[in-house]
Structure 1
Amino acid sequence: MMRAWMLPMLFVLCGALVAAPLFTGGPSGTAVALLLGFVVLAGMYSPLAFPRSIGAEEAQGRSAVDGRPVVYWRPGCAFCMRLRFRLGRKARRVHWVNIWRDPAGASVVRAANDGDETVPTVVVAGVPHVNPDPAWVRAQLAPR
C-alpha cells in the first residue's frame, strides 16, 4: 500500500521545496499557486481519487454475477478522472481495474483496442466501450 502513495508524496514534497523559497523572499501568491498545483497533481495520482481497484479476473467474475460494468483505468488519466468524478457516488458500484497494477487488466484493454492501452475502457456484458460518455455509464448502473 505504501507504494501507491510514493508518487503523490513526492509531488507534495517537490511542491514544498519549490514553493519554500518563494514564501520567504518572493511573491507569496506565486508560492501558493505552485504548491496548490503540486497538491492537485498529487491528488490525481493518489489512491483516494478512485475506489479500491481489484484484479481483472475478480472484476470479470463479479460483473458476471451482478451485471455491473468493469472500468479499466490508470492513474493520472484525465479521461479516467472525468469518468470517475462524473459518476459521483455511483462510482463505488463499478468494478475498477488499474491496468498499471494488473497485467491481466492491461491485456484485456490491449485486446479491446487493437494493441493500445486506451483508457477508460468500460466492459458491459462482455462488450468493451472505449472512453464512453459518463452519462451512458451511469445509465448502465440503473436498476433494471
Structure 2
Amino acid sequence: MTLLLETGHTRPVEVHFDDLDAMGLLHNSRYALLLERAVSAFWIELGWHFDPSASTFKDVFLAVREFKITYNVPIVGAGQPLVHFWIDRMGTTSAVYGFRILSPDGSVVHAEGHRVNVNLDPTTLRPRPFSDELREAASVLLRDPA
C-alpha cells in the first residue's frame, strides 16, 4: 500500500554503493544528501542555479539553519528510494521543508523530518526576504497554501 502523498513533490534519488556503511546500510549522513539531491533537482528544473548570473531567481544564497531527522527503517543496499518533500511554512526570510524518505514503492517510511532554509544576502550574510518570484515558484510545495 502506497502512502498518501497529497502535497509537495516526490522524486526518486539514487543510493550508490559508496553511500553505504560497513553493514551495507545507507549511512546516516547520506539521508540529508538524498533530500538535498531531490530538492536541488526540483529547483534546478524551475531555473534556479548555483551561479547567480545563470539563475532565473534572485535568491541563490540559501543556508540550512536547522536539520532534524528521525530514522525509522534502514535502507539496505543501493537502489532508488523516493524523497517526498513539501514546505510546511514559508516566512519572510526562511522556509521549513518537511520530508519523508520512502521505499521505491512508497510503502515504507525510512526516515522523516524537517529542514529550515534561510535566504541570505550574499554580501552581509544576514537574512533577507525571499523574492516574489521564488515565493510564487515555491507555492506548489506549500502544504497549506491558504
Identify the structure with the greater strand proportion: 2
Q: Which has the higher helix share?
A: 1
Higher alpha-carbon Rg: 1
Please indicate, yes or no, whether the TM-score normalized by the shorter chain is above 0.5: no
TM-score, length-scaled by structure 2: 0.28
The normalised TM-score by structure 1 is: 0.29
Compare relative contact order (CA 8 Å, sep 6+) and give the higher one, 1 or 2.
Answer: 2
